[in-house]
Amino acid sequence: MAARINRLVELLSQDQAVYYDGHHCGHVLTREQGMADAATWADYMNIGMEHGCFDMSGLEAYMRGMAEAGATRSGHRTPAVVVEAPVNGTDEANVRHNAWQFRQILGRGVHGIILCQAEDPAAVRAFVESCRYPHNTIGVDPGLPTPLERMGGAVRGRAGPGLLGIGARGRGSEPCAAPIWGVSEAAYFGLADPWPLNPAGELLLGVKLESPEGIANCEAILATPGLGYAEIGPGDLSLSFGSVAVLNDPYPPHMKAARDHVLAMCLKYGLAFLEGCSPANVAGRIDEGVRVVAGNNPETARVGRAHQNRTLPD
């Protein structure tokens, strides 16, 4: 029996690196594929909806298939599932106007969301707030108007520096999401909160910094309460510099500077850092601080797990 619902939270809380599989475009979302992916070698499945189809019926069937397949080898009800949302984190209004995407995705019972093209700290704060229920108040500015004051006409207000505003996720999806997690609807309301901000939370929220603006605002973005991990997006950042080829491994100097800056800020603010790795370099990158490993390669996972003496069944 696993200690946590979200395998990523369980492993990252032990300072273990985690490994994902899944496509950025075109992942098959059916009940049958969910049942097959329940036996994945990976710690989590990445579902790309930034460029893949925004298919909520498919995602719901996929998650149900995973749950129907039975417990994973590590004793979790399902592997963790993280979805790349279509909305870009370029500005606060864009995120708030598209917050319905987060509600739809979370309502299918997934374990995390990543916000792509994160450029603006206010947009990232809006992302976190949109994924939280209003009764979960860890990290919320205590100086904001109370519900009674708001009923009396007080403006909801903006949180102070380093704090969050009131959560904006609404009731209604828990009958769909809670059964995927294997908990009651009442329990889901408490558990569906971002970790590590909430130590009991089972959601993992991430951001992708993949533009010059995102790199420039990196520290302010990664200081946002409620985030659990971040990555540099070398593909899109390469396009910003005029290169169709991904400038990666080895990074040219300007890309390496951006990568090292994001890694340093992740370490400063206690976030996991995501990076593509191979069997040849995964041990060294883990030693640098990488804790979320891309690459879709089970051999990379085998080498990395052995390097950290992972004890959980895989």
Counting residues of the chain whose pLDDT is more than 70, the rounded percentage is 99
What does pLDDT average to over the chain?
A: 96
- Residue 156's pLDDT is 87
Give me the domains of the chain, ranges plus CATH numbers.
Answer: 7-307 (3.20.20.60)
Confidence of residue 314 (pLDDT cuts 50, 70, 90): low
Contact 165, 129 (CB under 8 A): yes
Confidence of residue 313 (pLDDT cuts 50, 70, 90): low
d(CA 202, CA 120): 25
Contact 289, 273 (CB under 8 A): yes
- Residue 23's pLDDT is 86
Confidence of residue 240 (pLDDT cuts 50, 70, 90): very high
Confidence of residue 24 (pLDDT cuts 50, 70, 90): confident
Place of tokens 């294997």: 182
> Does 312 score more than 70 pLDDT?
no
Confidence of residue 1 (pLDDT cuts 50, 70, 90): low
Average pLDDT over residues 150-179: 95
d(CA 17, CA 177): 26
d(CA 187, CA 191): 6
Angle formed by the axes of helices 174-181 and 56-68, nearest 10°: 30
Average pLDDT over residues 159-176: 96
d(CA 281, CA 119): 29
Query: What is the tens place of the pLDDT at every residue in 90-135?
Result: 999 999 999 999 999 999 999 999 999 999 999 999 999 999 999 9
pTM value > 0.85? yes
- Residue 26's pLDDT is 84
